[in-house]
Amino acid sequence: MRARVLIRPKEGILDPQGEAVVRALPALGFNGVSNVHVGRLVELDVEDESQLEAMCQKLLANPLVEDYEIQTVSS
């Protein structure tokens, strides 16, 4: 089973990387962009997808400051 975990900073926590991207885009002529958040993508093959939630809680994300979303990808 192929899985994909999307990890992003929790709503309301200052995300200076996202803000830096917001500031950089207009300099390249891309206007009208706001609310940018920069996170992480973890792709993994797992034998037991029921363990994904625990993997996120214990290691892949820090639930105190990050939200995560587990997607399973049909192989």
Partner 1 sequence: MKFGVLQFPGSCDERDAVDACARVGEAELLWHRDPDLKGVDAVVVPGGFSYGDYLRAGAIARFSPAMESVIAFADAGGPVLGICNGFQVLCEAGLLPGALLRNVSLRFHCEQIGVEVVNADTAWTRAASPGERLSIPTKHGEGRFYAPNLDELEANGQVVFRYAPGENPNGSERDVAGVCNLQRNVVGLMPHPEHAVDTLTGSTDGLKLFASAVAAIATH
- Print the binding letters for residues 35-74 with partner 1: x by CB under 8 A, - otherwise: -----x------------------xx-x-xx---------
Sole window of 15-23, 24-32, 47-55, 67-75 interacting with partner 1 (rule: CB under 8 A): 15-23
Instruction: Report the helix count and the strand count for the chain, using DSSP H and E.
Output: 2, 3
Burial of 56 (0-12, 13-18, 19+ CB in 10 A): buried
Nearer to partner 1, 28 or 59 (CB): 59
Binds partner 1 by CB under 8 A, chosen from 1, 20, 44, 54: 20
According to DSSP, the residues that pair with 41 across neighbouring strands are 6
Structure tokens at 67: 């939200």
